[in-house]
């Protein structure tokens, strides 16, 4: 079966890999000059199975109002009456109810835990080196209310078999000694020992090489302009390099999936939720993180790569605007200076922004569409790196009709 995968971010690349391993003849098309140049480029580097949670959670509507007036708030909204934003935000608010949150989180944990197994197998098979570590995530709390709020997640972690430990301040410092500068503010943490970390961009470059060696074709610098439909079947992808025909087509265009699918009358509820990151060299090992630290107050993650730290966060609802305003970068600077004032040199920071392809309920949209040979693997929001391998493996099973076991996981109904 000939399959065209549209997009070579971490989701498109992993899709291409698993489809090729399942015996498909795969071509990947991307407008950039190489893999992972857009949202998969400089994310927080968390492969956080245990932290897989929807942002639409109980208490978020109230917190969101408070955040609108805070300097270093995790959420920023550019005032706009865009119908896309209004529609997406109202669906997200509906998903903040506890019963919906539980269902969405359980679905995300299932895909994430499947990804854990798939990534482990992939690493065994390909021995990829993406500066990965397997030392877990430490979510840190600065007030007792945050410790209390985590109780609602613990039952779900237990139900999904995810290992966790609640730590007091001393135990947090034992886990991450570099946090000593902020110990006066630290009331405790949730440690997820099975979480991993790694540079998503390095992973993608290496997987792209392996996929190419395995026979996958890559067409870079090639923009997809539309999908050509005849009798409810996609016959070709129209691109700037001409038409590409195939038996099946997979849309893995991240935040841009919505436009291409919308042209076919398929409405996927994806909004580009902008985030920012900075990457810094380590100058003092003793005052640096060992793995990922998630600061719950600012919802900023700090991840250790070999001799670098990646710091990322902020959810900004402002459409596709790649600007790097000082005010947003100041939040990341503030968190890194507060946690690791002596570990890094902010003067050497490299800043970046990307658009998380977010669904209102946090779950990705994997599988069939109303057009019988058109599939999606998109909408991974805050957790595309974490969920990529599992999502791609599930997608390859659906496209090659090996199994429908996971189809119900994506709650999107057309
Ligand atoms: C600040 C930030 C921090 C994050 N931290 C984490 C984290 O720690 N852990 C985690 O799991 N996830 C994290 N994420 C989320 C993760 O990065 C995304 O979910 C993931 O990168 C999405 O991958 P994708 O392949 O779907 O999209 P992309 O990486 O955006 O790939 C889409 C591809 O489609 C191509 N494309 C788009 N339109 C066209 C077109 N018309 N024609 C041809 N090509 C096209 C693009 O060039 C791009 O290569 C973070 C995101 C951000 C912004």
The tokens of 53 are what? 């949670």
Which CATH class, in words, describes the domain spanning 2-41+201-269+361-409? alpha beta
Q: What is the pLDDT of residues 251-304, one digit of tens each?
A: 999 999 999 999 999 999 999 999 999 999 999 999 999 999 999 999 999 999
| pLDDT score of 159 | 84
Closest CA to 141 of 189, 178, 180: 189
CA of 10 to the centre of ligand 1 (A): 7
| pLDDT score of 413 | 54
Domain 57-96+131-197+271-358 has CATH 3.30.450.20: no
Which ranges of 44-97 does DSSP label H, i.e. alpha helix?
Answer: 60-67, 83-94
CA of 37 to the centre of ligand 1 (A): 8
Instruction: Considering the chain, tell me which residue range(s) the CATH 3.30.9.10 domain(s) occupy.
Output: 57-96+131-197+271-358
| pLDDT score of 87 | 93
Of 302, 316, 356, 379, the one to substitute when testing ligand 1's pocket (max ligand atoms within 8 A of C-beta) is 356
Instruction: Considering the chain, tell me which residue range(s) the CATH 3.50.50.60 domain(s) occupy.
Output: 2-41+201-269+361-409
| pLDDT score of 330 | 94
Cβ–Cβ < 8 Å for 28, 207: no
Name 163's Cβ contacts closer than 8 Å, sequence gap at least 6. Answer: 50, 157, 192, 193, 194
Nearest CA to ligand 1 atom 35: 7
Paired residues of 242 in beta bridges = 239
Of 37, 43, 54, 226, the one to substitute when testing ligand 1's pocket (max ligand atoms within 8 A of C-beta) is 43
Residues with CB under 6 A from ligand 1: 7-12, 29-32, 36-40, 43-46, 223-224, 252-254, 256, 275-277, 301, 312, 354, 356-357, 378, 380-386
Please list the ranges in the chain whose pLDDT falls under 70: 403-414
Q: What are phi and psi of 284, to 5 degrees?
A: -145, 105
| pLDDT score of 59 | 86
Q: What ligand 1 atom has the least distance to the C-alpha of 259?
A: 41
């Amino acid at each position: 079966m000939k399959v065209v995968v549209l997009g070579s971010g971490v989701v498109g690349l992993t899709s291409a890999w698993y489809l090729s391993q399942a015996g498909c003849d795969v071509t990947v098309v991307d407008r950039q000059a190489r893999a992972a140049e857009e949202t998969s480029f400089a994310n927080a580097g968390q492969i956080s199975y245990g932290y897989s949670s929807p942002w639409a959670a109980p208490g978020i509507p109230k917190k969101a109002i408070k955040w609108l007036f805070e300097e270093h708030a995790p959420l920023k909204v550019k005032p706009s009456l865009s119908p896309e934003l209004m529609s997406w935000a109202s669906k997200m608010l509906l998903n903040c109810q506890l019963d919906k949150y539980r269902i969405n989180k359980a679905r995300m944990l299932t895909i994430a835990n499947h990804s854990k197994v798939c990534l482990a197998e992939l690493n065994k098979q390909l021995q990829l080196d993406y500066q990965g570590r397997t030392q877990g995530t430490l979510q840190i709390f600065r007030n007792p209310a945050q410790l209390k709020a985590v109780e609602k997640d613990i039952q779900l972690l237990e139900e999904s078999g995810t290992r966790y430990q609640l730590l007091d301040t001393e135990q947090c410092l034992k886990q991450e000694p570099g946090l000593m500068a902020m110990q006066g503010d630290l009331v405790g943490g949730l440690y997820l020992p099975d979480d991993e970390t790694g540079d998503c961009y390095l992973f993608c470059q290496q997987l792209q090489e392996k996929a190419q060696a395995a026979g996958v074709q890559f067409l870079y610098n090639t923009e997809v302009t539309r999908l050509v439909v005849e009798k409810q079947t996609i016959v070709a992808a129209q691109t700037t390099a001409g038409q590409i025909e195939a038996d099946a087509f997979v849309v893995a265009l991240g935040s841009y999936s919505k436009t291409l699918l919308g042209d076919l009358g398929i409405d996927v509820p994806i909004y580009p939720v902008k985030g920012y990151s900075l990457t810094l060299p380590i100058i003092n090992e003793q005052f640096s993180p060992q793995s990922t630290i998630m600061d719950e107050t600012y919802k900023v993650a700090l991840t250790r790569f070999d001799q670098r730290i990646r710091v990322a966060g902020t959810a900004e609802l402002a459409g596709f605007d790649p600007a790097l305003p000082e005010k947003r970068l100041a939040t990341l600077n503030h968190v890194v200076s507060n946690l690791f004032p002596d570990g890094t040199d902010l003067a050497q920071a490299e800043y970046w922004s990307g658009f998380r392809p977010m669904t209102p309920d946090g779950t990705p949209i994997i599988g069939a569409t109303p057009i019988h040979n058109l599939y999606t693997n998109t909408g991974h929001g805050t957790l595309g790196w974490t969920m990529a391998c599992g999502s791609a493996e599930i997608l390859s099973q659906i496209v090659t009709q090996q199994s429908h076991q996971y189809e119900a996981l994506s709650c999107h109904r057309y």
